[in-house]
Structure 1
Amino acid sequence: MKRRRTTTLATALILATGLVLTGCSSGSDDKPRLNISGAFMPEPVMDDMAAGFLTIKNDSDVADKLTSVTSDIAGQVQIHQTKNQKMQEVTSFDIPANGELDLERGGNHMMFLKLKKKPNQGEKVSVELHFEKAGPIKAELPVKESTHNPAKQ
């Protein structure tokens, strides 16, 4: 009887330890896996502001949020939501697990205000995207012609 109780107790301890270790795991699924693609900035027609566009793909089971954008080229970069053809600044954009966030013409976008230098076609603008969970990610936005509008694939 004593042997059975010891075996049962040992089994219970092994199972409990396994559950605790699994719960404390710092595996790759704890942080979102984000990829940036399709980035561009149309050459600004005004000297003091510009827009930026890109797609953020989340290849993980963990949702995240884009909380801000910074760039040396602008005094301020805002993230804007477009609803009913009106844009307004927002504090963040959700990036769903196994989904994506599209910042595109006519929709949600980045707005570069108080430009320190007007970027010209052929140049690249560096940005740092700040996320709630993934941390900062740097990206380059090639400056395209002012009418550039890639087809959604």
Structure 2
Amino acid sequence: MNRRTTRTLAAALSLTAALAISGCSSDSGSDSGSGSDKPAKPAMTVSGAFMPEPVNDKMAGGFMVIKNGSSTADKLTAVTSPLSDDVQIHETKNQKMQQVPSMDVPANGELKLERGGNHVMFMGLKNKPKVGDKITIELRFEKAGPVKVELDVKERTHNPQNENSH
């Protein structure tokens, strides 16, 4: 009896050890894909960034598409620029504009900041940009590192949505 119990216990321990080892190796393979241990830092890219020429030095809008090329969702939390000490993130709901503390940038998705919708608002401009100027901004995110972007100053009526329909 004693010898049989010892063999059964040894076999059980061997099986447990084998399962633990195989479990570890398959877990590490899936962890790198799922990112449950350390999620991949979101990778943000920006396209189509522009600012219509402001009418005065009181305010201006900024528009762009922010793409998140990772499987980790993030949030745009702040925008800074030498053009203004007060750059705000605005959402438009029911045709009403309001400042918000952040905006979601979905995993493997994009945040569109466009005319008539969500946008960046520059309040109290230090100067009035002209068509052809470039305005430097820095986008700050909850998880991703900061992203520097240049906004092309375009004509006041510029709307990239109209260009695509021609």
What number of residue pairs does the alignment pair up? Answer: 151
* 1:106-135 deviation line (CA, Å, top 9, x unaligned): 110000011111111111001010111112
Match of 1:13 among 10, 20, 29: 20
Structure 2: which amino acid aligns with 1:129?
A: L
Distance 2:64 2:15 in 1: 57
Q: What code does the residue aligned with 2:130 have?
A: N
- Provide the rounded CA distance (Å) in 1 between the counterparts of 2:76 and 2:22: 39
User: Which residue in 2 is equivalent to 1:116?
Assistant: 126
* Deviation sequence 1:66-86 (CA, Å, 0-9, x none): 111010110210011112222
Which residue of 1 is the match for residue 92 of structure 2?
82
Structure 1: gaps (5+ residues): none
Q: Match of 1:87, SS?
A: strand
Helix, strand or coil at the partner of 2:131? coil
> Normalized per residue, which structure has more helix?
2
Identity %: 56
Cα contact 2:40–2:70 (8 A) shared by 1: no
1:72 equivalent to 2:82? Answer yes
CA pair 55-24 structure 1, distance change in 2 beyond 3 A: closer
Q: Which of residues 105, 110, 114 in structure 1 aligns to 2:115?
A: 105
Other-structure match for 1:136: 146
2:117 and 2:24 map into 1 onto residues whose CA distance is 49
What TM-score, normalized by structure 1, do the two folds share?
0.87
SS in 2 for 1:30: coil
Structure 1 distance, partners of 2:16, 2:85, is 64
State the alpha-carbon separation in 1 of the partners of residues 65 and 43 from structure 2. Answer: 14
Q: Which runs of 5+ in 2 are unaligned?
A: 1-6
Aligned equivalents of 1:3, 1:83: Cα separation in 2: 67
Q: Mean alpha-carbon deviation: is it higher for 2-11 or for 90-99?
A: 2-11
1:20 Cα deviation after fit:
6.5
1:43 to 53, 57, 60: 53
| Aligned mates of 2:157, 2:28 — CA distance in 1 | 56
Which of structures 1 and 2 has the bigger CA Rg? 2
TM-score, normalized by length of structure 2? Answer: 0.81
2 CA distance for matches of 1:17 and 1:99? 32
Greater per-residue strand proportion: 1
